[in-house]
Amino acid sequence: MGTTGRGPRSRPSWSTYRQSIGDRSGLFAALAAAWQPRRALYPGSYLDLAPSTAIPSVTYVDTDRRAARFFADPDAVAADLAGRTRPGAGAEIRFLHADYTAALPVADAAFDLLVSLYTGPAWDSCRRYLAPRGLFLANSSHGDAGLAALDPRLTLVAAVHHRGDAYRLDREELGTYLVPTAPAHADPDHIRRTGRGIAYTRSAFAYVFRLT
């Protein structure tokens, strides 16, 4: 889960992982500036510490042993975050060496941000942990954005674009996003069966939804 950029000989750290995926800190800085999430859940995180640069409390979840070793070393985590956090961010970092598709040892509705980037899909398994009015950040890689777009409990509030490590939120003309090029594929059963996202007439890196 969340396997993008995992070289088998890589030393487990966020700094080496950033060389593969880039630095997503700007994404979470933009989310923090717009909505001030306080507690985030990141299933399938692998080594991506970017949420902790902008959010006070983040719980990371992954089955990968390298991720478990990295998060078990608080000095390594602190070294990777040194000089990169916004005021108040990174105060609490928790890692669960677990399969997010099974029940997690966290309370329902405990988080105001759920992150699914190349994870999933995670929405079906983890939506119970998102608080009312909470945010769901998802991309289309494994169908999570597609499932979210079809869930009447969720409302699209932003599309995420980036160039390199610079991220921006588009909160205008949201009706132009998530329009499927093949409407027949915009079906939850189809998305779950294929485990892939569907194509849209206007695409973005990721999407932010709010739970009603």
CB within 8 A of 103, min separation 6: which ones? none
Average pLDDT over residues 117-132: 94
- Which tens digit of pLDDT belongs to each residue from 143-192? 999 999 999 999 999 999 999 999 999 999 999 999 999 999 999 999 99
Q: What are the structural domains, with CATH classification, of the chain? A: 16-211 (3.40.50.150)
- Which tens digit of pLDDT belongs to each residue from 71-110? 999 999 999 999 999 999 999 999 999 999 999 999 999 9
Tell me, what's the pLDDT at 12?
86
CB within 8 A of 65, min separation 6: which ones? 97
3-state DSSP helix/strand/coil percent for the chain, to nearest 5? 30, 25, 45
**Angle, vertex CA 121, rays to CA 59 and CA 104, nearest 5:** 35
